[in-house]
Homo-oligomer: A and B are copies of this chain.
């Protein structure tokens, strides 16, 4: 967990801020004080503080110090790759996952394009609905390169696929691109979700890359529009 010193400091303070034991506006110890407290150098402390700043936990002011930001108001996910499981656990809501499909299929032309496949090779396909408080709100359609994910158990699909991929397969997931748009509902959406009479649906296309920059997963996450929300934290310039 805390392999590095700066990660240790980062985890300490991000946890304290998330839990609320450090409240908004409060001043952190100075960099020199933290360096002494953790028995390390100022540069190492600065690395941790920079990460806290980048992730919206604190705000640094030259000449004054580091101050806790209002993460309650910020809500979450504060950008970044956050899985459904992580979010639903934090929400503390009654949540259920229904697996409709979990098998190896030949890729269609569209999927091949999304995964940058040259030939129409096989892909592992997972289709799941996310039920929140009795209503099927989200339809997740995942496609994996069989090179990296030859097969997937129903248990893994029902729980967190990311947990399985990272902890069991040790796939080095590095970064992802999200595209959010609104599209017309498909017959499949109507069939697999509780859509009421909405004619449109929010589509989040997620392209996930490994550390060697190969695109190995494409996910289409289709949200009923009244339940969709996305939060993003951004800095104007680097501090």
Q: Which residues of A contact B (CB under 8 A)?
A: 25, 51, 54, 56, 59, 61, 67, 69, 73-75, 79-81, 173-182, 198-200, 202, 211-213, 225-226, 228-236, 238-239
Contacts and interface: CB of A to CB of B under 8 A. Distances in A.
A79 B234 contact: yes
A44 B89 CA distance: 40
9 contacts: A56-B175, A56-B177, A61-B212, A175-B234, A177-B231, A178-B230, A178-B233, A180-B231, A200-B200
A213 B59 contact: yes
Contact of A234 (B61, B80, B211, B228): B80
B59 A235 contact: no
A81 B177 contact: no
Contact of A178 (B67, B199, B234): B234
A103 to B, nearest CB: 26
Contacts of A69: 213
Contacts of A173: 236
Cβ-closest 3 pairs across A and B = A182-B225, A178-B232, A180-B230
Contact of A59 (B25, B174, B226): B174
B199 A233 contact: no
A179 B225 contact: no
Query: Which of A199, A230, A232 has most chain B Cβ within 10 Å?
Result: A232
B233 A177 contact: yes
A167 to B, nearest CB: 13
Nearest to A7: B238
Nearest to A202: B182
A199 to B, nearest CB: 7
Nearest to A198: B200
Contact of A211 (B61, B174, B211, B238): B61
